[in-house]
Structure 1
Amino acid sequence: MISKKMEQMLNEQYNKEIFSAHLYLSMCSYFLDRDLDGFANYFKVQSQEELMHAEKQFVYLHDVDGKITMQQIDAPPSEFHSTIDCFERTLAHEKEVTKGIYGLVKQALDEGDFATHTFLQWFVTEQVEEEASVKALLMKLKMIGDNTSALYLLNDELLKRTLTVSE
């Protein structure tokens, strides 16, 4: 049985994951409006991943006799200044998600909730990958600068990204 505090924190994280999905769909829309279908695809896949993360938390919480409580989801921004702006915001957002996951891990350890601690290790690993991926793309974008040919090539590369389902 999960503690009420941990249940509450997992609910907050679940809702952050849903917000993340909305944020990345908003960025997807931004890139679709600019005919950058590869960048749009990148953020569409990001959105799908966030929904998978939320589903993992949903299932886990019910498996340990907790309950997901749906909360209001804030509207994400819909205007962005540039491609780099989107990726800088993405990196900042992922760092906030990581902070939330770390808070959950700390709470699980403080409570001696080893089942939740074990469950959360997948998310810790996932966040390392998420931040590294965004940092790498941001670095590439900064190197590209105003080179539209390089932007086209990166857009083409991102078009090939597909959703990978991991356990």
Structure 2
Amino acid sequence: MKTNRLSEKLSAALNEQMTKEAHASQIYLSYAAWADNNGFSGIANFLFRHAAEERNHMMKILEYILNRGAKAKVIAIPAPANDPISVNNCFEKVFKHEIDNTNSIYKVVKMALVEEDWATWNFLQWFVKEQIEEENLANYLMDKITLAGGENAKGDALYQLDKDLEKTSGEVKLAQDATTTNP
């Protein structure tokens, strides 16, 4: 028999974050399908990989909740918002979503700190670091589309962007990991 080691409030917050991660996966999946339908197979591939990554984040939280002896609640997730209207708009939506997700994670981190639940606070540090990477990646995408012409990007620029993102891993180096030998 497991003993619940999460407060009711923190358990609810973690379950809510788990649902947000599932929703993030659906959003990326939706944007990937939109990109593919519009002939951007490289961008679609990139976004499909991110959909899988977001699902892994959901699973990480689910496992943590269960390992702490609390009840994981799997609920319906909202449908993704409307499809993007352009590649620029797609990346703007990705950026906004990542900022919203970061703010949500910060709320759960603060809650763990206030409750002095150090196990949960420590667990959430992985997500804090991950969100730095996600925001940096969203900035990278915004920079790429800006270089391609932003909302006015057309033809060769979009073609090259699509090809570049097809090969991009989605990994962005973090400033805290830089050294003089590995800038």
User: What range describes the TM-score normalised by the shorter chain of this pair?
Assistant: over 0.9
Contact 1:49/1:163 (<8 A) preserved: no
In angstroms, what is the RMSD of aligned CA positions? 1.4
Q: What is aligned with 1:152?
A: 159
Q: What is aligned with 1:73?
A: 77
Q: What is aligned with 2:42?
A: 38
Classify the secondary structure of the residue corresponding to 2:80.
Answer: coil
Contact 1:26/1:78 (<8 A) preserved: no
Instruction: Return the match for 1:131 from 128, 135, 140.
Output: 135
**Count of residues paired in the alignment:** 164
Contact 1:10/1:61 (<8 A) preserved: yes
Letter in 2 for 1:152: Y
Contact 1:14/1:58 (<8 A) preserved: yes
Instruction: Return the match for 1:100 from 101, 104, 107.
Output: 104
Equivalent positions of 1:78-89 (< 5 A) are 78-89=82-93
TM-score by length of 1: 0.93
Taking only the aligned residue pairs, the percentage that are identical comes to 37
Instruction: Return the match for 2:125 from 115, 121, 131.
Output: 121
Contact 1:61/1:68 (<8 A) preserved: yes
Tell me the distance in 2 between the aligned counterparts of 1:53 and 1:129. 13
Task: Give 1:77 shift.
Answer: 2.1
Pick which of 69-78 and 54-63 moved more: 69-78
Contact 2:148/2:161 (<8 A) preserved: no
Letter in 2 for 1:41: N
Classify the secondary structure of the residue corresponding to 1:93.
Answer: helix
Contact 1:7/1:61 (<8 A) preserved: yes
Instruction: Return the match for 1:14 from 15, 18, 37.
Output: 18
In our comparison, the structure showing a higher alpha carbon Rg is 2
Classify the secondary structure of the residue corresponding to 1:103.
Answer: helix
Contact 2:46/2:170 (<8 A) preserved: no
Tell me the distance in 2 between the aligned counterparts of 1:117 and 1:153. 42
Contact 2:26/2:80 (<8 A) preserved: yes
Q: Which runs of 5+ in 1 are unaligned?
A: none
**Highest RCO, 1 vs 2 (Cα 8 Å, sep ≥ 6):** 1
Letter in 1 for 2:41: D
Deviations 1:101-132 (A, max 9, x none): 10011000000000000000000000011011
